[in-house]
Chains A and B, each alone.
Chain A
Amino acid sequence: MPHFVVVGAGECGARAAFALREKGFEGDITLIGAEPVAPYERPPLSKEGLVHAHEPKFVAALERYAEQGIDLRLGIDATDIDPTGKVVTLTDGERLSYDKLLLATGASARSFPGIAGTGERIRMLRSQADALALRAALLPGRHVAIIGGGFIGLELAATARRLGADATVIEGLPRVLKRGVPEAIAELITQRHRQEGVDIRCDETIVAVEEGTDSAIVRLASGKEISADLVLIGIGAQPNVALAEKAGLAIDNGIAVNERLETSAADVYAAGDCCSFPLALYGGRRVRLESWRNAQEQGTLAAANLLGAENSISAVPWFWSDQYDLTLQIAGLADGAATMLRRDLGEDAFILFHLDETGRLLAASGIGRGNAVARDIRLAEMLIAARICADPAALTASHVKLKSLLAV
């Protein structure tokens, strides 16, 4: 019986394990997860899920693992890989031989330079355990200072307000969501946060974060200081590559894989937040995506390739964020765009299309209440995948159905 081992029981690892069975694999599957909880969805941790943090949203019902014959080992780390002898060693010293190995080790929250670690009042948000600790501190009248105006920081600010806590967001760059989000959308999100009472401060340099007994203090280069009950560091994530690095696998902003998710070692694959890969749709440039759908899709793709398929990554990057009743969705990668076009969808909902110099659609970013932009973003994603040079007039005219552009 062949034995496939998946290291990392997150969205990607769990999806891969189930996909192996869906595709007919009858051998042994071991899924190893460092966290003591069964695989759960991370996106709710900063959003609605944080309001009811005691219950994570599981990727699959627990009994499904047993039903599918997936040996789920929780609360245990893989500490070493021997790619030559094809053995994975676990924290308890057990050695598992594998025929194929998938690394789905994900990413960790990046800590703030100069701060040794996190404490009672200085926290980060990546796991269910982090969310539980954070939830306990987000009470009416409490004040949370959030370092970083990225998605997690802003979603958390919105959730803090919903729970009656005060929130201050401190961003070093001139505006929030500088990476990957067009200015018009970031501006609308900023305005909304300010209306809701969030104090957003951009262009601020932090010189120190100190933890006291009753509060934590963020000291700014301007000489000002912000005192809060809790400081959350939300400055991005870094790929978990230690295990792969120790085993001598190629690393390049994540575990380096080719278009089929193969690492530099034979029969070892990597997928999800932990890996960087070439994206054919964008000229083969190497990217690492921290997105939920990417983790799912790559888990499924890895499963197919573990079983001998030679499928290449073809998915269009896709991301969403919820703040208050606003939803943002982005398909594609906008950097390198030469032109931007706007399609208004009424009630403050709009989509920005990003085209390259030949007129090819590279990306679409939309924002609106509820699911106002969802359908058009989904269609834009298909237009991007089809490498279409769409008629600019049709893109901007909201009465023209984007679906009709796909037919041509």
Chain B
Amino acid sequence: MSGNWIEVCAADAIDEEDVMRFDHGGRTFAIYRSPEDDYFATDGLCTHEQIHLADGLVMDNIIECPKHNGRFDYRTGEAKGAPVCVNLKTYPVRVENGTVFIAV
């Protein structure tokens, strides 16, 4: 972990069981709020065809890619079967005083 914490947004800017896009330093990320109100971050682009996951659907701990419904566990980045086979990178997330930060 590089430990370089970046401010993302207010915690309530992301709906429960939803995902949001976040761009920083020429890179793009997807930030998730789980049904249990925990926050997670992964690389923004699907490893199948580089489509942004923020347009996808969050169900429980799964993000489904909007393009061909490839699935990942957004907590671990693990690809959950065809058509995706390459995992997503994940990043540490911290919520402080109602603000979300990620370490990139």
Contacts and interface: CB of A to CB of B under 8 A. Distances in A.
Contact of B69 (A300, A372, A378): A378
A41 B67 CA distance: 14
Specify the main secondary structure of chain A where it touches its partner.
helix
A186 to B, nearest CB: 22
A60 B85 contact: yes
Specify the main secondary structure of chain B where it touches its partner.
loop
A403 B59 CA distance: 10
Given A292-B68, A293-B69, A320-B68, A375 B85 contact: no
A293 B68 contact: yes
Contact of B52 (A22, A60, A300, A371): A371
Contacts of B67: 320, 327, 371, 374
Interface in B27-58: 51-52, 55-57
Contacts of B17: 403
Interface residues of B, number: 15
A375 B55 contact: yes
A61 B66 CA distance: 23
Contacts of A378: 57, 64, 66, 69
A15 B52 CA distance: 25
Interface in A60-78: 60-61
A379 interface: yes
A15 B20 CA distance: 31
A370 interface: yes
Contacts of A403: 17, 57
Interface string B85-96: 100000000000
Given A292-B68, A293-B69, A320-B68, A374 B82 contact: no
Interface string B7-41: 00000000001000000000000000000000000
B83 interface: yes
Interface in A364-390: 370-372, 374-375, 378-379
A374 B85 contact: no
A300 B83 CA distance: 12
Contacts of B66: 371, 374-375, 378
Contacts of A379: 57
Nearest to A401: B15
Contacts of B69: 293, 318, 378
B47 to A, nearest CB: 13
Nearest to B85: A60
Contacts of A300: 82
B51 A296 contact: no
Contact of B56 (A60, A318, A320, A374): A374
Contacts of B51: 371
A403 B64 CA distance: 14
Nearest to B53: A371
B82 A296 contact: yes
B55 A374 contact: yes
Contacts of A371: 51-52, 55-56, 66-67
Nearest to A296: B82
Interface in A267-307: 292-293, 296, 300
A296 B69 CA distance: 12
B61 to A, nearest CB: 16
B55 A370 contact: yes
A272 to B, nearest CB: 13
A375 to B, nearest CB: 5
7 contacts: A61-B85, A296-B82, A371-B56, A372-B55, A374-B67, A375-B56, A403-B57
**What 6 pairs between A and B have smallest CB-CB spacing?**
A374-B66, A371-B55, A371-B66, A378-B57, A375-B57, A296-B82
Given A61-B85, A320-B68, A375-B66, 17 more contacts: A41-B83, A292-B68, A293-B68, A293-B69, A296-B83, A300-B82, A327-B67, A371-B51, A371-B56, A374-B57, A375-B56, A375-B57, A378-B57, A378-B64, A378-B69, A379-B57, A403-B57
Interface of B: 17, 51-52, 55-57, 64, 66-69, 81-83, 85
Interface of A: 15, 18, 22, 41, 59-61, 292-293, 296, 300, 318, 320, 327, 370-372, 374-375, 378-379, 403
